[in-house]
Chain A
Amino acid sequence: MTAPPASTRPDGDVAIHAEDVRQTFGDVIALDGLDLAVPTGTVFGLLGPNGAGKTTLVRILATLLRPTSGRASVLGHDVVDAPLPVRRRIGLAGQLASVDEELTGRENLEMVGQLYRLSPAQARLRSDEVLERFSLQDAADRRVATYSGGMRRRLDLGASLTGRPPVLLLDEPTTGLDPRTRQELWDEVDELRREGTTVLLTTQYLEEADRLAQRIAVVDHGRVAAEGTAAELKATIGQDVLVVRLAQSEHTAAAADALAPLGSTEPVVDGAAGEVRLPVADPAISADAVRALDALGLRIASIELQRPSLDDVFLSLTGRLPDAPAATDPEVDPS
């Protein structure tokens, strides 16, 4: 079977749609009325801290979990009413889905291919293609238990692509990967987008969302706090950020107090790095900042004016950095 044609969609723009999706596990609210529309053919980043509800949303879209209320659809097929058509159109990879340790790479791919309804012969051909694409030919007939973490992750992504799904759900695909493997995976996601695949990617890494995604939704406490392109999100802050690094990190708090009156919002302090980040309305304030710190005898290692980063967007929306854990952790599967 080939992937269902794109022409079956009446709405050519939205591949993944979520409307007021709520998910509760007992007292814990994992998703709290989340709305989302992912344009077809784009990489869409779902950015948020642990426990924001990202994985819960992916589980709902992959038909693994029924939402408590609200609706979600993939290419126009409702995840609750039409789970089978949804499953024919998605691939799932990342932290959620996995491959079989005792089988070889090829056996894993052939099995998944057959379960995507390819004939055994088609599944064999498709496995060869996937193995080649992910540079796993040499390891094809070795048991996955002997693979490195990076090879396993490549195979995992490959397995989710054996059915050529038009929509790919990637749940924190690069968590725990070394920089080189992460780069390879990023290249692969770029390539998939060029081929027209819609990718929903969850991540805690701002850099990853910035690098890969055409649109980003910042998710916090089970809802979308802001959504747009990286540039749009940065523009919501609308201001430059003064980044001051202190020569002695123990002076960070004192410096933040001294700088606070100059900023347009509260400064953000990274004590360990000895860094204070301060959104400023007027770039000329840099000079005032230097004078203020100098008056207190606080030595400056570096001072620069930056365009706002996604970090700043995230901080201004959620009050914390994305890799900091949320107060509760509703993403733990309670069932």
Chain B
Amino acid sequence: MTTTLEAPALDTADLAPGERSRLTLGETVTDSRVMAHRQLRKILRRPTYAIFALVQPVMFLLLFRYVFGGAINTGGTDYVDFLMPGIMVQSAVFGALMTGMGLAEDIGAGVVDRLRSLPMARSAVMLGRTAADMVMNTATLLVMFVAGLAVGFRPHGSVLDLVLALLLVLGFAYTFSWISGFIGLALRDIETVSSAGLIWVFPLTMLSSAFVPADSMPGPVGAFADVNPITLAVDATRALTLGQGDALGPALGTIAWLVALLAVFVPLATRAFKRA
């Protein structure tokens, strides 16, 4: 049964001459740039924030390189060469957590309400923010790379291989920014968001081939690690930096994961922002 009720007649007005009821793509791009610019400024204003984002992965690197690494059997590969790709993907995922925490902070501060009341593209908040977080992630990755070189990491692949590896890791960071952004917008409270981040990210990175070979893990754990997108991304990055092994298979697997995750989480985050 369908009942259509005539809406009560309110005074209605036409748009002003030249006024459009939707924003153009160009306006969305402009707004995204404004939002990215704001975010980068904020990062630079908070040096402690940036430093922690850089120091944490370096600490992980040193911890695994000098504390745990000696006890982990990686076959013929130097552990530091085995470790670096894992640490790089892990820091990309950890870096992505900043997206959700920053959005929860903006909601708490009332900034999101102001932005949502402005005639801007609503998608620009997430687009700009994830773009700015990418800049931060790139910086982290470069610092990691230099730190790795300092503790003995030596890439054996070509320069092109290295660039492809970095792009893959950045694509990973970007996708996880959207997941984390959705969580931030859905849970809203900064404390909740930061604890929630660890709950899904920690097992995901540990139950992967990031730090130890996945085939050393017992049945169900190993099975999880095998399908874990982090394992796929780490395996692809590892093959590219070591210059040996199959990079194409895990790289395609990773890209398939990222496309699927973006297809789910971009709409989810966009919807969550409209309701934030």
Contacts and interface: CB of A to CB of B under 8 A. Distances in A.
A77 interface: yes
Interface in A62-76: 62-64, 71, 73, 75-76
Interface stretch (B75-83, B115-123, B146-154): B115-123
A271 interface: no
Nearest to A11: B11
Given A19-B8, A76-B13, A100-B38, A84 B21 contact: yes
A77 B109 CA distance: 29
A251 to B, nearest CB: 47
A96 B110 contact: yes
Nearest to A64: B116
A109 interface: no
Nearest to B105: A101
A332 to B, nearest CB: 13
Interface stretch (B40-48, B196-204, B240-248): B40-48
- Name the interface size band of chain A: 35 or more
Interface string B7-34: 1101111111001011100010011001
B42 A87 contact: no
A10 B11 contact: yes
B117 A8 contact: no
B118 A78 contact: no
B8 A71 contact: yes
B111 interface: yes
A100 B37 CA distance: 13
A59 B7 CA distance: 22
B57 to A, nearest CB: 24
A116 interface: yes
A85 B21 contact: yes
Contacts of A160: 114
A20 B11 contact: no
- Name the interface size band of chain B: 35 or more
B113 interface: yes
A100 B42 contact: yes
Interface in A1-45: 4-5, 8-11, 14, 17, 19-20
A75 B13 CA distance: 7
A172 to B, nearest CB: 13
A63 B117 contact: yes
Given A19-B8, A20-B8, A111-B34, A97 B46 contact: no
B198 to A, nearest CB: 24
A163 B37 CA distance: 20
Interface in A59-114: 59, 62-64, 71, 73, 75-78, 82, 84-85, 87-88, 90, 92, 95-103, 107, 111-112, 114
Contacts of A97: 110, 113-114, 117
Contact of B118 (A10, A20, A71, A87): A87
B21 A71 contact: no
A125 interface: no
A112 B115 CA distance: 8
B19 A73 contact: no
Nearest to A18: B10
A71 B117 contact: no
Given A4-B15, A10-B11, 16 more contacts: A4-B16, A64-B117, A71-B10, A73-B10, A82-B21, A90-B117, A97-B110, A97-B113, A98-B110, A100-B42, A100-B109, A100-B111, A102-B41, A114-B30, A115-B34, A160-B114
